[in-house]
Structure formats: C-alpha cells, structure tokens
A = this chain, B = another copy of it.
Amino acid sequence: MKPDTSPTIKDVARVAGVSLATVSKVINNLPVGEKSRVKVEEAIKTLGYEANTFARALKSSKTYTVALVLPSLKHPFFAHLTDELTKSLMRRGYRALLMITNYDPMAEEKCFAMVRSNKADGAIALTYSPDLTVSGKMPLVTIDRHLGDDVPCVSSDNYRGGELAAKKLIGLGCRSLLHLRVTSGVPGEPDKRGAGFEFKCAAAGVPCRTIILSDRESDLPLFRFVEEHICNGQPEYDGIFCGSDLLACQILRFLHEHGVSVPEQVQIIGYDGIPDRMTGSVSCSTIEQPIAHMAEASVDLILNFNNTSVGANICLPVKYVPGGTTRDEPQASTE
C-alpha cells in the first residue's frame, strides 16, 4: 500500500478543538461529554474522516467484522442469502468476511479457528460438518441447522412450507403425490419440509411417495424414476413437490422434453422462491423463503449476541407463490 493522505485522528482533534483522547473515546463509543461528542462528530463529517478500523480493533476489541461461513455460492439459495447478509452488515457499518468451505468439514473447523484468531466479532454459518462442535468461545448464529441450545438458529418455517405445498397441490386437484429431494445427508431444518408434506397428505388421505437422493450420488436414479413413472404415457403421479426451485425446473424441463405437459398433466411446486433477476417473478410455483428477512434476523442476532437470550430459534413464515407450474394464476409475472 502506498501512504494514504486521508485525514487522521489528529486532524479531527485539531478541527474539533479537543484532545486526541477525546476523539478516541468518541470513535470507540466510550463515555465522553455531550458537547465534545458533537464537536468531534461534526469534525469527522467535515473532514470525511474514516477511522482506521484495524487500530480501532486493538483499542476497543471490536473489529466491526462478521465472518460468513458458507459451503458454496454455487447454489442460488446460498448466493442470495450471502448477498442479503452482506448488504445487511454493510448497512449497519459492519464488514462481511466471506469464507467458503466447499462442504468440507475440515475446512469448516479451520474457518472457525480463523474467525477466533482474526478476532471477528462473530460468525454466521451454514454448516455441513456432521459432527460440528462449537467451542462456545465465539458468538455464532447458524442458518438452517440447530447445533445446540447455546447457538441461535435462523430458518424459515420448513414444516409449514411442506404442509402448504401439499395443501395447494391437493386443493388444485392432485390425487397422487411425489416428493423429490436431494440432500447432503447432514440433518438440518429443511428435513422438516418432507415431514410437513407427508403429514398433510396423510391427513387428506392422498397417497404420497418420497424419494430422497444424496447429493453425492448421480441424479440418474431420480430422472429414471420420473421417466418410468410419469413419462410413460400414463403419469402415475399428478403432483410433485421438489426440495428446491432448481430441482423443480430440472424436472419441468425433463417432462417438457418427454412430452408431458405441465401443469395440465402434472403440477409442480418447488422450494426457495428465488425471483428471476430479469422478470422479477419466480421460475416455478414455489414455497418462498423470506431470504432477506432471514439475513436481517441473523445479523440482528449476531450483533446483539450478548444481549439476546441465547438459544433463540427464529423460524420465519413462508408463503406459497404460484409460478406457472400449477393450475392457478401466476403472481406478479410480466409474461
């Protein structure tokens, strides 16, 4: 780095007519007389002074940095969530330190060690280590996975989402349902989607079959099942609930290519509700997760970690959004 000619804390002290110590107190949110605080804040504004956060970190032991630990940004849900988490942190004057673990448990442990060593104020994590244990030394908020009573967890209401999907498909006339899901095998809140779906089907007396595939397998069995049981001229299932919009769109395309019409012969509901960047509408009928709201809640929890009752589990409401793959009218579509 070349030397920086931006205003320093000394310039602020000179313009405000106060001591360096007073400026330092204001910057680090320590008690100081109201008049001095106003003078310093005005000087900071006038000069466009921006505190050297590294120096500040050593003095106040706050880094104004939160680590975001995610398995990947290659799934749209993770990408959208990281987008919203970063914007929420930036709005509050915090910095987002991004860490990608590539679904590797060892990498996750290493990230948490880095967070502790780098003295970030805490971490928001979406983890995949089957045996992750949290040392308790570090403020941590998890998303979609409940690690223990001392770690707050934020998720959408997955059980209700599954119920909603079943209720909607049955209400739209489906009489034989299929639930398709690809999972990492690590237990998490999204498991509840299937439970909610199956419960609602049983309650309505509508048969339902569930096929769960590990994401370490090829997806061949999934498409082969759909080919044998739906694309054979006599669809055995007239409604499909998919674990993500991504999967729903793949199934949709597969059915299109095999001459099965959606939603006439088969109706499909996905999960996530990520709006298309261009059209602003969802890519299929779906259960919408409140991603921006989940990000905001996670940031709230981590920034108020010591003031909040630990163990908070925040479960945010989902909603059904029609998107053309069910026999109701798409919402907010520009097509």
Instruction: Tell me the chain A residues, 57-105 only, with Cβ under 8 Å from chain B.
Output: 57-58, 61-63, 65, 68, 72-76, 78-80, 82-83, 86-87, 90, 95-100, 102
A side interface size, CB within 8 A: 69
Contact A113 B50 (CB under 8 A): yes
A34 at the binding interface (Cβ < 8 Å): no
A144 at the interface (CB under 8 A from B): no
**Are A86 and B74 in contact, CB atoms less than 8 angstroms apart?**
no
A62 surroundings in chain B (CB, below 8 A): 1
Chain B residues within an 8 Å CB radius of A220: 334-335
Q: B52 and A119: CB pair below 8 A?
A: yes
Residue from B102, B182, B277 in contact with A75 in the complex, judged by beta carbons closer than 8 Å: B277
Q: Mark A22-56, 1 if CB is under 8 A from B, else 0.
A: 00000000000000000000000000001111110
Inter-chain contact A1/B139, CB cutoff 8 Å: yes
Q: How far is the CA of A274 from the CA of B90 in the complex (A)?
A: 29
- A166 to chain B minimum Cβ distance, whole angstroms, is 24
Interface stretch (choices A167-175, A229-237, A246-254, A312-320): A246-254
Question: Which residues in B have their C-beta under 8 angstroms from that of A250?
Answer: 276, 278-279
Q: B61 near A1 (CB under 8 angstroms)?
A: yes
Chain B min CB distance to A59 (Å): 10
Known contacts A57-B54, A72-B83, A278-B219: does B4 contact A137 (CB below 8 Å)?
A: yes
A247 to B277: give the CA distance in the assembly, Å: 10
Interface of A, helix, strand, loop or mixed by DSSP: mixed
> A121 contacts the other chain (Cβ, under 8 Å)?
yes
Q: A117 touching B51 by the CB < 8 A rule? A: yes
- What mask results when residues 223 to 246 of chain A are scored 1 for a CB within 8 Å of chain B, else 0? 100000000000000000000001
A residues sitting closer than 8 Å to B (CB atoms) are 1-2, 4, 6, 50-55, 57-58, 61-63, 65, 68, 72-76, 78-80, 82-83, 86-87, 90, 95-100, 102, 113-114, 116-119, 121-122, 137-139, 182, 215, 218-220, 223, 246-247, 249-250, 252-254, 256, 274, 276-279, 334-335
**Can you report 24 A-B residue pairs in the complex whose CB atoms are below 8 A from each other?**
A1-B61, A52-B117, A53-B118, A54-B57, A54-B63, A54-B119, A73-B79, A73-B80, A73-B82, A73-B83, A74-B79, A76-B79, A79-B79, A86-B98, A95-B118, A96-B99, A97-B97, A215-B278, A219-B278, A219-B279, A220-B334, A253-B253, A254-B335, A256-B256
Q: Which 5 A-B pairs have the closest CB atoms?
A: A79-B79, A50-B117, A73-B83, A98-B98, A73-B79
